[in-house]
Amino acid sequence: MAAATATRTAGRAASAQPRRRRRSAAPARVLLGWSAANLVIVGVALVPLLWLVSLSFKTPASITDGSFIPNEWTLENYRGIFRQSLFTRALLNSLGIALISTALAVALGSMAAYAIARLEFPGKRLLVGMALLIAMFPQISLISPLFNLWRILRIFDTWVGLIIPYLTFSLPLAIYTLSAFFREIPWDLEKAAQVDGATPAQAFLRVIAPLAAPGMVTTAILVFIFCWNDFLFAISLTSTERSRTVPAAIAFFTGASQFAQPIGSIAAAAVVITVPVLVFVLLFQRRIVAGLTSGAVKG
Partner 1 sequence: MADIVLDHITKRFPDGRVAVDDLSLAIADGEFVILVGPSGCGKSTTLNMIAGLEDITAGELRIAGKVVNHLAPKDRDIAMVFQSYALYPHLTVRRNMAFPLTLAKRPKEEINRRVEEAARLLGLTEHLDRRPAQLSGGQRQRVAMGRAIVRSPRAFLMDEPLSNLDAKLRAQMRTEVSRLQRRLRTTTVYVTHDQTEAMTLGDRVAVLRSGRIEQVGTPAELYSRPVSVFVAGFIGSPAMNFLPATLEHGELRTPFGPIAPDDRLRRLLHRWDGAAVGRRSLVVGIRPEHFEDATLPTVRDRPGPRFTITVDVLEPLGSDTYAYFTLKDDRAPAAGLAELAPGEAGLSGPAGQVVARLDPTSRLREGERAEIWLDTSHLHLFDPSTGRSLDAGPG
* Site for partner 1, rule CB under 8 A: 120, 186, 188-189, 191-199, 202, 206-207, 210-211, 292-299
Minimum distance from residue 296 beta carbon to partner 1 (Å): 4
Q: What secondary structure letter does DSSP report for 157? A: T
The span from the CA of 24 to the CA of 175, in Å, is: 40
Q: How far is the CB of 200 from partner 1 (least distance, A)?
A: 9
Comparison of 154 and 183: residue with beta carbon closer to partner 1: 183
- CB 234 within 8 Å of CB 147: no
Closer residue to partner 1 in complex, CB, 99/209: 209
- Shortest distance, position 210 Cβ to partner 1, whole Å: 5
- 33 or 210: CB nearest partner 1: 210
- Under 8 Å between Cβ of 257 and 61: no
- 10 Å Cβ neighbour count for 94? 25
- Per-residue b or e along 166-188, where b marks 16 or more CB atoms closer than 10 Å to that residue's CB: bbbbbbbbbbbbbbebbebbeee
**Beta carbon nearer to partner 1, 139 or 293:** 293
Residue closer to partner 1, measured from CB, 88 or 194: 194
Of 28 and 290, nearer to partner 1 (C-beta) is 290
CA distances from 18 to 24, 58, 66 (A): 10, 37, 37
Nearest-approach distance from CB 206 to partner 1, in angstroms? 8
**122 versus 138: smaller Cβ distance to partner 1:** 122
Q: Which is nearer to partner 1, 136 or 297 (CB)?
A: 297
Residue 168 CA to residue 140 CA, distance in Å, equals: 14
Least separation in angstroms between residue 212's CB and partner 1 is: 10
Beta pairing partners, 58: 73
Report in angstroms how near the CB of residue 292 gets to partner 1 at its nearest.
6
Is residue 181 within a helix (H) or strand (E), and if so which, with residue range?
helix 159-184
Q: At its nearest, how many Å lie between partner 1 and the CB of residue 97?
A: 32
Asked whether the beta carbons of 170 and 227 are under 8 A apart, the reply is yes
Residue type at 160 in one-letter notation:
V
Rounded Cα–Cα distance for residues 211 and 204 (Å): 10
CB of 187 to partner 1, least distance (A): 9
The distance between the two most distant Cα atoms of the chain, rounded to a whole number of Å, is 73
Q: Give 87's contacts (C-beta < 8 A, 6+ positions apart).
A: 81, 246, 249, 253, 269
- 177 in Cβ contact with 222 (< 8 Å): yes
